[in-house]
Amino acid sequence: MPEDAPFDRLFSRFGAMFFSEPYPAFANLRRMLREGGRLDIAVWAPIDENPWQRCIMGIIKEHIDLPTPQPRAPGPFALGDQDYVIDLLQSAGFCGISFDAWTGEQRVGGPGSDPESAARFVLDGMHIGDLVRPSDAEVRDAIQRDLVALFGRNRDDDGVRMGAKAWLVSASA
């Protein structure tokens, strides 16, 4: 790799999983790092380990048929498989790859959200809304109602919170 690469550190917080062509994208990131530089990315662990998303999708599936998720397709959980991430990074020329798990709570709708605003956020501000929007008003209303009930069970004084897990991935150039 060229010594005149412009960066000694690159990071992404929940963005790298949306690369439409991840192998060339990570190779390009590697070319941007000086020798010995570092890449740090945060990505969601598999959906099965993320109740905040799994429960939302479960509610939606009760009302509409959802497309079968395509493994590794660009999206929030594209980089949940550690073996795949290792292959992507090694293929790009990274080494010293490590994973640290973060487990905590995801604020749905942001700090101070209430069940209604969290449901609006999910349906209007996340990709999931694109799956629901084509449904008729009765179905959309039922999904909204069920989401509000879910979020009501997961609310405290600081807003709606649900369990979440992410990988904090580091690699060296």
Selection from 86, 124, 133, 126 nearest residue 106 by Cα:
126
* Tens digit of each residue's pLDDT (9 = 90 or more) over 52-108: 999 999 999 999 999 888 889 999 999 999 999 999 999 999 999 999 999 999 999
pLDDT tier for residue 4 given thresholds of 50, 70 and 90: confident
Q: Is residue 1 part of a domain?
A: no
Task: Give the chain's mean pLDDT.
Answer: 95
Q: Is residue 163 part of a domain?
A: yes
Alpha-carbon Rg of the chain, whole angstroms?
Answer: 19
Q: Is residue 2 part of a domain?
A: no
Q: How far is CA 124 from CA 65, 127, 148, in A?
A: 19, 8, 14
Residue 102, classed as helix, strand or coil, is strand
Full domain range(s) for residue 79: 7-172
Determine the Cα angle at 49 with ends 151 and 158, to 5°. 35
Give the CATH number, domain containing residue 159. 3.40.50.150
Q: How many domains does the chain have?
A: 1
pTM of the model: 0.90
